[in-house]
Amino acid sequence: MHKKRFIMAALSTAILSSGIVHASDITPDNPANNTIDVYEDYDFIYGGGNETNAANAFDNRLNIFGGNISGIFGGMAALGYNAYNNHIIINGGTITGVVGGLAVWHSGWDVGNVYNNTVEVNGGRVGYVSGGEIGYSTESDSDSNPSTASGDVHHNSVIIRGGEVTGGIVGGSALGGNAYSNKISISGGKVSGDVIGGRSMGGSTYNNTITISGNPDISGATFYGNNFILNTSNISARNIYGFDNINFNLNANYNPQSPALTLTDGKATINSLSNIAVNVDPNSNIRGGDTLNLIYNQNGISVNDSSTYDTMLSKGGLRAAPMTLSLVGGNNIRSTVGEFDLTPEAPIIPESYRPAIEVLHHSFVPEWLPPEDFSDLDDAVDNPDISLKDNTGYEVFTNFGGFRLKTKGANGSYSRTNGGNYDLGFARSLDMQSGKLIFAPVFEYGNGNYEVYLRNGTRGYGTTKYAAGGFIARKVYNSGFYFELSARGGKSDNNFTSDDFKIAGMQSRANYHSSAPIFTGHIRLGKALRLNQNNLLDVYSYYFYTRQGGTDTNIHYSNSASEHCNFSSINSSRFKLGYRLTTRTSRISRIYTGLSFQYDRNSNALTHLEDGTEIFNKGAKGSSGILEFGWQIKPNRDNPWLVDINTTGWIGHQKGFTAVAKMKKSF
């Protein structure tokens, strides 16, 4: 059996030097969804497809543990079809070349796209590594213009954690199409040769990124691409060329007296110092006034447009300092650091600690007894279907519902919160000469998602939840006057993310998880007034207090740095004054409407960073108007449950609505 030879644009004939397929080759019948484990010698391994495969080659996985192998292809497609989502993991062995995904171009035919393929090297010895490529068949006319091979190569990845790569790396390689958003990550092992983020013979290359982390041996490597990110320090390479952006994320062990990157192969050329951005680890000892050595080349460095450049030095995502970059002595790029201050995005961190308060505030326990309970003595006469004398003074109740609210913060900030709350309680009613006393243990659970916005447009989002338990008690007098109080304690959890941080000039993600103790309580006073046989007016006021305790957590950034911070507790108070008018429409049906005024006040939010820096966010306060409507079904012999459906609309400091369903059974 013979297969057509082809020459890949990036590899030429280094891998496929023979058109004869030997018996030791692995070529599955299906081009997709194959999993292959390899421990021994093979000439060529195709995870799925081949150079004449007229089908998509995708979702193939190859695990290489050993053996001598000439070439490995995760997925191979031709004749206009795509190669995608193929995954090769090299754990051992000696391999001439590896390509994650390959689309083969035949002259006169369309060619597909190559994307989302991954090659990982954890061990072994590999010659050439490519995340994804478009190559051409040797059957094509050698004079054919490869610009007609317009397929794109994008979002492919090469990850080097160990082993040795001797023949260079390409993230993605195209012919006439574009090579973009390919990634090479090197965190261990040894790499030699040219390391190229993305390339194309006739198309564009953009947003291809090479990232160096840990302590790999890259002393024999030369780097080309669009974005170069150094997540380590005091490391050597042969040279770097052509990068649009060079980002230094210097770790906590960085010694500013030593160059972060030393180049050894000829004179280096940097297009502009404006291409360079610097971030130091939040836990580093870098302070204002320090001098940082960034790039050193004993053979000299040429900067095309300027010998100085003023920019900002990031310290994590929360602090920054003015920085001047300069070329010193013709061979050393240094920066002089000014005084650190908070970034414009920093206040989103303490502000993000508030949304859990909103979820707690809209719990439903304070409304667990509808106002009609004040007229139970009259209802016992008016409603012969059920009598209070028939029950034992025990009640079980549950409330559940949801809300969607926008809440104003301080200094132009605001939050949007969506959530739901659920509670369950068991009450004991005691008839007394002066009226009735009711006491109930209660359990609550609530969760929600939220968005937080600063005035400058910085956005964060997340989820929050809480669980709490406690009690609620009410005393109702025969005169219609009543008072109630509650106390509950528990724990809240908050998961927060923001994609709007800028670290070393690049967009970055920040996230954290926190858990904190919570306490809530309220006092309510009111009076139920019987207007006539069918109408009851409830006039009330209440004070609601919530405290979310302080806690410690770590903020994690997308460049793998993190910093420790402490959230101070947040206290919130709400005062509400309102009325509710209930109208009996039948023996078992009631409707009610109400208006209320609520004043909110939240304490300042404060976050302390490990070096003592404080991020302050002023507490918010404001007033809201609330309109409510509800419908209630009283229990009868056919239905022993009281059911209450309630909706509210909010305007002012808070805007939005809530909806609640309440059920109670006496027995």
Lowest-confidence segment of 304-308, 528-532, 539-543, 560-564 by average pLDDT: 304-308
Contact of 451 with 459, CB cutoff 8 Å: yes
Which residues lie below 8 Å from residue 509, measured CB to CB, with a gap of 6+? Answer: 497, 498, 499, 501, 557, 558
Strands 551-557, 506-532: parallel, antiparallel or unpaired by DSSP?
antiparallel
Query: What's the rounded Cα separation, in Å, for the pair 505 and 587?
Result: 70
User: What is the DSSP track for 324-345?
Assistant: EEEEETTTEEEEEE---EE-TT
Q: What is the mean pLDDT of residues 76-88?
A: 95
Instruction: Please give the average per-residue pLDDT across 437-446, as a whole number.
Output: 91
Q: What is the 8-class DSSP label of residue 4?
A: -
What average pLDDT does the segment 515-533 reach? 91
Classify residue 26 by its DSSP letter: B
pLDDT of res. 267? 84
Residue 115 has pLDDT above 80, yes or no: yes
Burial tier of 479 (Cβ tally within 10 Å: 0-12, 13-18, 19+):
exposed
In tens, the pLDDT along 365-383 reads 555 444 444 444 344 334 4
Give the number of other CB atoms < 10 A from CB of residue 118. Answer: 21
In one letter, which amino acid is 631? W
Phi–psi pair at 356, nearest 5 degrees: -60, -30
Using CA atoms, how far apart are residues 239 and 435, in angstroms rounded to an integer?
88
In this prediction, residues 110-125 reach a mean pLDDT of 96
What's the pLDDT at 506? 82
pLDDT for the residue 198: 97
Q: What is the mean pLDDT of residues 169-197?
A: 97
Stretch (H or E) spanning 274? none
pLDDT of 365 reads 52
Residue 494's DSSP bridge partners are 464, 514
Helix (H) or strand (E) holding 405: strand 394-408
What's the whole-number mean pLDDT along residues 120-142? 85
The pLDDT of residue 144 is 61
Question: By the 8 A CB rule, do 240 and 246 touch?
Answer: yes
Q: Which residue has the higher pLDDT, 607 or 640?
A: 607
Q: What is the rounded radius of gyration, in angstroms, for the C-alpha atoms of the chain?
A: 34
- The mean pLDDT of the chain is 87
pLDDT at 360 over 60: yes
Query: For strand 641-652 and strand 621-633, is the pairing parallel, antiparallel, or unpaired?
Result: antiparallel
pTM, rounded to two decimals:
0.81
In this structure, of 16-25, 80-89, 431-440, 519-528, the range with the lowest mean pLDDT score is: 16-25
Straight-line distance from the first to the last Cα atom of the chain, in angstroms, rounded to the nearest whole number: 84
CA distances from residue 84 to 47, 113, 201 in whole angstroms, order as listed: 12, 8, 21
The partner residues of 471 in beta bridges, in order of sequence, read 441, 487
CA–CA dist 78, 88 (Å, integer): 20
Length of the chain: 667
pLDDT in tens, 324-350: 999 998 899 999 999 999 999 999 999
Q: Distance between CA atoms of 635 and 666, rounded to whole angstroms?
A: 9
Under 8 Å between Cβ of 243 and 275: yes
The structure tokens listed for 111 are 């060619």
Lowest-confidence range among 1-15, 194-208, 232-246, 585-599? 1-15
What is the per-residue pLDDT for 384? 38
Q: What percent of the chain has pLDDT over 70?
A: 91
pLDDT digits (tens, 9 = 90+) for 545-566: 999 999 999 999 987 788 999 9
The answer to which of 16-30, 78-92, 254-268, 289-303 has the lowest mean pLDDT is: 16-30
pLDDT of residue 443: 92
